[in-house]
Structure 1
Amino acid sequence: MDDYPLLNIFWTMLELFVFILWFFLLFKIITDIFRSKDMGGWGKAGWTIFVILLPLIGVLVYLIARGGSMAQRDLEQAQRTDEAFQAYIRRAAADGGGGSGGGGGAGPSHADQLAKLADLKTTGAISEEEFQKAKAKLLA
């Protein structure tokens, strides 16, 4: 360690950091290329080849040409992921998937839902046909 000065250690760490940062940027751009819906297959192939064969120029040109819309595509992807997660939570809650604990927002049981349907039918809020459809859907 005596023959490797402290400044060289810092310089090597900086080079390593920039190298890792470069790969993160490269993967981010390749992901954005394939996520983009406004670009056809040939456009995606062209950008991918350009970014892989001439990485420095390809990445810089991609950032200049399409960098402004990268944030919009990231936002759309995050919204789609959030919507899918929320839909999953709603489905799990509707299926009565709250195994532990007693009735803490896991959703009503099938018996409770059938009782509510029967009450709605007796009060005239829904017709016999609507009751049968809802009952069949619930029991399916």
Structure 2
Amino acid sequence: MDGFWDFFWFLIWIFLFMAYLIVLFQILTDLFRDVDLSGWWKAVWVFFLIFVPMLTALIYLIARGRGMAQRSMSAAKEAKSATDDYIKSVATPASPADQIASAKKLLDEGTITPEEFASLKAKALA
């Protein structure tokens, strides 16, 4: 019976330690994401996170918790915007004139036959 409870408390401590690590990494990510905070203040926060971790984490979450959510949302919006812009730039279909010019280049190089060129031209104009 004693082995079960030892294992149970071991799991509880592991869970709490993992939760603490997640909070710590979220705080560190937020610190370095914040462009308004000077390097000296970031160094002070990191110093205290290393030497007084639990108290500093609680103070940070209380003092800067609302800003953490806002910075996280703005970073997610910027990443989504950059991804959308990249997808649009890659996925934008070429104009019919570009498609015909590309097919003409292939025809001139001898890569395709005149019948294939006519087929590609008809497809581009459709």
TM-score by length of 1: 0.65
Q: Of Structure 1 and Structure 2, which has the larger fraction of its residues in helix?
A: 2
Distance of 1:35 and 1:62 partners within structure 2: 14
Indicate the structure whose relative CO is greater, using CA pairs within 8 Å and at least 6 residues apart: 2
Measure how far apart 1:112 and its partner are.
4.8
**Shift of the alpha carbon at 1:66?**
0.5
Aligned residue type for 2:97: A
Question: Could you say which residue in structure 2 is the equivalent of 1:119?
Answer: none
Q: Quote the residue 2:97 is aligned against.
A: 111
**Could you list the runs of 4 or more consecutive aligned residues of structure 1 that deviate by over 6 angstroms after TM superposition?**
none
CA distance in 2, matches of 1:114, 1:79: 38
Partner in structure 2 of residue 57 of structure 1: 55
1:16 aligns with 2:14: yes
Supply the distance in 2 between the matched residues of 1:70 and 1:15 (Cα, whole angstroms). Answer: 26
Instruction: Specify every segment of 5 or more residues in structure 1 that has no aligned partner in the other structure, as ranges.
Output: 95-106, 116-140
CA RMSD of aligned residues (A): 2.0
Counterpart mapping for 1:1-140 below 5 A: 4-94=2-92, 107-109=93-95, 111-112=97-98
Shift of 1:16: 0.6
Instruction: Give the counterpart letter for 2:43 in structure 1.
Output: A
For these two proteins, the number of residue pairs brought into alignment is 101
Q: In structure 1, give the amino acid aligned to 2:94.
A: P
Aligned partner letter, 2:33:
R
* Cα distance in 1 between the residues matched to 2:78 and 2:3: 51
Aligned-pair distance for 1:9? 1.1
What code does the residue aligned with 2:73 have? L
The C-alpha deviation readout for 1:61-119, integer Å capped at 9, x for no partner, is 1111111111001100000000000011011113xxxxxxxxxxxx134625789xxxx
